[in-house]
Chains A and B, each alone.
Chain A
Amino acid sequence: MIITKLKYGFLLLAAVLFHIFIVNYISFWLLAFLVMLPLVSLFITALAMRGVTAELIVKNASIQKNETLPIQLKIYNKSSFLVCRIKIKLTIRNELLQQEQNRTFFMTASHSGQTVEQVISSKYCGMLSCSIADLRIYDTLGLFSFCKKAESSYFIAVIPSVYPLMAINSVILQDIQNNAPSRIMKGNDPSELMDLHEYRDGDRLARIHWKLSDKYDQLMVKDFGDPISNDVLVLFDLNGNSNEQINGLLDAVYSISNFLLKNQIAYEMEWYDSLHEHLVHTSIAQKNDLRLAFEAMLNNTRFQKQPWVLKNCSNGYGHKPYSVVLYLCSEITSNSIDMIHKRLTRSQVNIILVSEYQSTHTDLTLIDLKNIKESMSNLVI
């Protein structure tokens, strides 16, 4: 508005020169009138600004990536006076990726109102917060301005893409669905016989199978199985270097989550809320749970370099093993792999690396970012 101030200053200077050189009341009349104009303008604006309202109207709370969404910004004025200049700064921010874009509008506010439709889309998933960052009301001459708070804001979730998983291991699926006991760990469940062997030092006397011992004429000991949970645990760390990596990782998590729900498999999800600095663990049994979980995650999580989920996961679960643990990340080190195996010893852990680069580690599954759809389709756990 510096230009408007300069324009008024120029007009005033012209009027002053007119008054100096023209020896007549007419010149004073013009000068006095011009000097009075800003006061009139200020007074009218001060009266009018109380009735000015700005609001955002968004019809959808979530969209897909690259899907367009119109946002309407409506300005209206309940007062009798017209407010000729209103500056509105609309801010669209991706909370997950910390990206922001602004649009500034200069509008008028009348009784009938003015509406601006701004279409947005996002290439990456995340939580878009749309808000009116700045609402400034100028007087008609553009000399004075008043700031007014506009509390209108909306959150729009940009949902990750869903890729079909075609090649997932059916055995694992059966295990999950049949609540099969663990084939690895011994347990104390007498209903599940895991193994029979000859007596060894250290075996408990209570485990001696007396009938078989009598039959084979040597002491035989029975090992009981350890019942495992039918839940799947999906862990992920948003530790990518680029927006594409984060995006691909979330696509993978979301695709796997959808696959599990499609196959009526309840599971648990865990991630690290870097905003509030705590681990988040939630159960997902239906689509609504998934939607809520993702909305919370997209809003409160920032991508990070450290594998915070791995570092903090010992504080969460740990008492019962999971039939399948899926850990997804964009970067992994040998230490991370050791950590995950150490902390999830009684579970079958599958490490899925979502990256555009090949990894030197062999005990993990790679999802190629450059060809994510095919990679997801061929995903083998």
Chain B
Amino acid sequence: MKRQIPKSNDGLHLDSPCLIESKTSLIMQFLFYFLFLFIGVSGAYGCFYTIFPLPLSLQVVIPYAIVFCAVFTLVFLIKLNRILLLFISLAVAVYALFLKHSLIDVLNHLTHGFILTYNSVISAYAQKMQYNLFTLPIAPAGINEMTASSTMFAVFTLFFVTLFMAWMLIRRKKPIFCFMFTVPFLGVSVAFSIIPHYAAVAALYVFWAFLILNSSFLRNKSKFNKKKSVFYSGGKTAANPQSLILLPILVACLMLVTILYPMHSFQRSDFVKDLRLGLLNIPKIPSPIQIPIQSILGYDDRINLQLVGNITFTGKTVLRVQSSSHEADYLKGYVGSIYNGQSWDSLPAKEYEKLDSILNEWKVQNFTSLFNKLLARATNIYDLTIQNVKRNSLRVYAPYGLISKPEELPGIDFINDGFLRSSNTLFGTSEYSMKATTLQIDAWRMSDSIMEAFISEQSSFINAAKEYKHFVYSNYTQLPETLKERLDQYRREHNLDIEGYMSPNAFANAIINQVHSENSYTLSPGLTPEGEDFVEYFLFENQGV
């Protein structure tokens, strides 16, 4: 056989290699690509449609998804005139649609379905962003009609999404584009803390993993792809039905992760929490960027005392406060529940469930004002307006004597029994107004005889307050064991015994005076050494905070 051989200097000539394709049958190729495509489409569509409360008929959508995947897989695998085949497929699909409906009905359904879908998406995002986004006007319709319209629109878009994915995967063999096309189906919702159904997420993860694992030969149409003197096989050999065995293995891996780390008991590690807070609080990130980042990515109810160090005065305004009262008051942005030596943490969720059952509709943040009202005290009620200028707008700085109730503060959440936070996770709340009264801390103490004087409507609140008081003493007086011993020793050393004082207040004042005598207030205490208890370090080593 005479062939043109490229000349080389050393006498040995090697022609361009030729790949003799293994005979993968059309059926096996079809099976490979069909399953591949179906997983991707179902994952992407599943993620989208499980986020939004759209009425959808799965009995219609799923078969259509199967049919579209099968048809487009076949269209891109066989060598007949593809455009003709696509046209025939489209014609058949359109004919199927018109079997039961007229053209006007179909158009109406599609339009209605589009509006329903659009409004559903916009509403979900608007709720998260606490912004009013434009929604399209829609005529009222029954649930069946809405379901039909949404389903028809879903099938309509499914046709094009499947076509595009089939083209990218089978014809063009571009796994990276398939990945990029499907990322927004999950990414956009997760960015707004809207989580799809985990089955759809699992399907999408499996699809991505399958793309990664098969990317080495999902290259292009050429049989051999030469890159830097290395020949990579590709072409029709890309469809290796043997690799389908990876699908159940990938599913098993996901299930294994779910079994080893169940969702309901999953807790993020403290290291990750601290790292996230540290990254979010990087001072050099401009506030306009930091705030959305913190907003989008959520905010954690934890303060790591190991990161609390020197405080410096920057000279910049961070809060602008307008008050109708001339008296001084205090604002709180965060309240920690449990001290564990290095941080202030929240209570476990179960405890807050108990708290909710104790408090019913009352909020601890309003207790001061509620007690004042209960006892008919003459207090100074004032209006407060706070503008977050530089600080994180998720934080809402509220006075201790807050009067305004949750329904009077739209866009602001009452976080358990501690503090307030903006419900606009994306942009935060930059300005808010509330009513407050000056703080009176003695309202917590109430004898049983006084309690009996109140009428039943008031009693329910008082009983709740009493139970809350028990809750506070049983949960919020916890200390790390070593610190407790150390503090007991400190008390003994300084003769601070509660039995020697008239009241708890007097005892507390004695402790305060003792601490003041040995420790000082400073803005530059430095960082607590790693692993050391914050309080111990302040009291016995640093002697300053």
Contact = CB atoms under 8 A, between A and B. Distances in A.
B433 to A, nearest CB: 30
Contact of B217 (A66, A101, A108): A108
A16 to B, nearest CB: 9
Contact of A68 (B2, B256, B258, B293): B2
B371 interface: no
B13 A123 contact: yes
B121 interface: no
A86 to B, nearest CB: 9
A33 B253 contact: yes
Interface in B15-43: 15, 17-24
Interface residues of B, number: 61
A105 B233 contact: yes
A19 interface: yes
Given A92-B12, A103-B231, 19 more contacts: A8-B212, A20-B275, A20-B279, A22-B297, A23-B297, A25-B263, A26-B190, A44-B246, A82-B240, A101-B8, A108-B233, A112-B23, A114-B21, A116-B19, A118-B15, A119-B5, A119-B14, A121-B12, A140-B246
Contact of A82 (B245, B257, B300): B245
Interface in A350-365: none
B271 to A, nearest CB: 10
Given A110-B22, A112-B23, A105 B190 contact: no
B17 A82 contact: no
A33 B418 CA distance: 36
Interface residues of A, number: 64
A112 B24 contact: yes
A337 interface: no
A137 B298 CA distance: 44
Nearest to A116: B17
Contacts of B217: 84, 108
Identify the 8 closest CB pairs spanning chains A and B, nearest first. Answer: A82-B242, A112-B22, A123-B11, A119-B15, A21-B297, A115-B20, A23-B298, A140-B213
B275 A28 contact: no
Contact of A32 (B230, B233, B243, B257): B257
Contacts of B198: 26, 29
B272 A118 contact: no
Interface stretch (A35-43, A213-221, A231-239): A35-43
Interface in B190-226: 190, 193, 195, 198, 201, 205, 209, 212-214, 216-217
A8 to B, nearest CB: 8
Contacts of A111: 242
Contacts of A19: 272
Nearest to B227: A106
Interface string B473-499: 000000000000000000000000000
A70 B12 CA distance: 13
B213 A141 contact: yes
A29 B15 contact: no
B25 to A, nearest CB: 9
A25 to B, nearest CB: 5
Contacts of A99: 10-12
Nearest to B196: A26
Interface in A7-53: 8, 11, 19-30, 32-33, 36-37, 40-41, 44
A27 B411 CA distance: 27
Contacts of A142: 216
A134 B272 CA distance: 44
Interface string A78-120: 0011101100000010100101110111111011111111111
Interface of B: 1-3, 5, 8, 10-15, 17-24, 190, 193, 195, 198, 201, 205, 209, 212-214, 216-217, 229-233, 237, 240, 242-243, 245-246, 249-250, 253-254, 256-258, 261, 263, 266, 268, 272, 275-276, 279, 293, 297-298, 300
Contacts of B201: 26, 29
B209 A33 contact: yes
Contacts of B250: 40
11 contacts: A4-B216, A25-B266, A26-B195, A27-B190, A28-B268, A40-B249, A80-B245, A84-B243, A115-B20, A120-B13, A140-B216
A108 B218 CA distance: 11
A68 B214 contact: no
Interface in A284-321: none
Contact of A22 (B242, B261, B298): B298
Interface in A124-153: 124, 128, 140-142
B489 to A, nearest CB: 39
A208 to B, nearest CB: 66
Contacts of B8: 101
A106 B12 contact: no
B257 A20 contact: no
Query: Secondary structure of the A side of the interface?
Result: mixed
A243 interface: yes
A122 B11 CA distance: 5
B190 A33 contact: no
Contacts of A85: 216
Contacts of B5: 66, 68, 119, 121
Given A33-B253, A84-B216, A140-B216, A113 B297 contact: no
B232 A106 contact: yes
Nearest to B244: A82
A304 to B, nearest CB: 19
Contacts of A21: 276, 279, 293, 297-298
B266 A105 contact: no
Nearest to A108: B217
B253 A118 contact: no
Nearest to A128: B12
Contacts of A66: 5
A80 B242 contact: yes
Nearest to A8: B212
A84 B239 CA distance: 11
Tell which of A23, A77, A104 has the most Cβ of chain B within 10 Å. A23
Contact of A105 (B1, B17, B242): B17
A73 B260 CA distance: 45
A107 B20 CA distance: 12
Interface in A233-258: 243
Contact of B272 (A20, A104, A108, A117): A20
A37 B212 contact: yes
B187 to A, nearest CB: 9
Contacts of A40: 249-250, 253
A94 B216 contact: no
Given A29-B205, A106-B230, A120 B257 contact: no
Contact of B231 (A11, A70, A100, A104): A104
A206 B17 CA distance: 79
A154 to B, nearest CB: 15
B18 A32 contact: no
Nearest to B13: A121
A205 B232 CA distance: 89
Nearest to B272: A20
Contact of B257 (A29, A94, A113, A140): A29
Nearest to A87: B230
Nearest to A73: B17
Contacts of A100: 12
Contact of B233 (A94, A106, A122): A106
Contacts of A80: 242, 245
Contacts of A22: 190, 297-298
B13 A29 contact: no
A120 B14 CA distance: 5
